[in-house]
């Protein structure tokens, strides 16, 4: 994890395994790293990002949830459910896509969880692919497609989920993306 941590701390973009696919991540508060990530994915900045974390404490600077809602989230975490919750005041538009909400997950994947613990903060998490292309499920495929664009590829295997994590609206319970 040392090389991955160093890459993230220095403003780099890394790839890492998650519950279902390889993700791309960086320091969510580093504007230059976010710009690099958007360029790698060829992605519009209006989409926003998911943040993954080792625990809910890493997400607290980014979210504005009641104790009741926090307890609801913790009933499903760590786990493969991403919740869209109210964003805390001051969260950058590049994370929210200009919305008042933010997608967040306490990951259950041991490598992704260790990565967040190692860096000491939540990371952006978006699938390791070019926008509108199928997600990548192996480090070999990440190397073939993105090797020259990334600062580090964390070794490991994706989890057993076949599709990216379910995304639900925490306030309404509506499923925004099925798994």
For residue 72, give the CATH number of its domain. Answer: 3.90.870.10
Cβ within 8 Å of residue 172, ≥6 positions away: none
Distance between CA 38 and CA 67 in Å, rounded? 34
For the chain, the average pLDDT equals 94
pTM: 0.94
Domain that holds residue 31: 2-177
**Residue 24 near residue 41, CB atoms below 8 Å:** yes
pLDDT of residue 151: 97
pLDDT of 98 > 90? The answer is yes
**Residue 4 near residue 118, CB atoms below 8 Å:** yes
Q: Work out the pLDDT band at 50, boundaries 50, 70, 90.
A: very high
pLDDT of residue 89: 97
How far is C-alpha 125 from the chain's CA centre? 2
152 vs 163, more confident:
152
Name the DSSP letter for residue 162. Answer: S
Q: Work out the pLDDT band at 45, boundaries 50, 70, 90.
A: confident
Q: What is the domain count for the chain?
A: 1
| pLDDT mean over 86-109 | 97
């Amino acid at each position: 994890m040392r090389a991955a941590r160093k890459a993230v701390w220095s403003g780099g973009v890394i790839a890492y395994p998650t519950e279902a696919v390889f993700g791309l991540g960086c320091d969510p508060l580093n504007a230059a790293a976010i710009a690099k990530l958007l360029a790698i994915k060829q992605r519009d900045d209006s989409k926003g990002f998911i943040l993954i974390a080792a625990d809910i404490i890493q997400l607290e600077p980014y979210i504005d949830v009641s104790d009741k809602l926090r307890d609801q989230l913790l009933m499903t975490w760590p786990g493969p459910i991403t919740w869209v919750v109210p964003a805390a005041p001051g969260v950058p538009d590049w994370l929210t896509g200009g919305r008042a909400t933010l997608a967040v997950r306490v990951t259950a994947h041991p490598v992704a969880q260790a990565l967040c613990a190692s860096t000491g903060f939540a990371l952006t998490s978006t699938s390791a692919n070019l926008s509108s292309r199928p997600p990548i499920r192996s480090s070999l495929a990440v190397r073939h497609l993105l090797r020259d664009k990334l600062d580090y590829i964390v070794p490991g295997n994706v989890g057993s989920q076949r599709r990216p994590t379910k995304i639900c609206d925490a306030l309404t319970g509506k499923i925004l993306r099925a798994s």
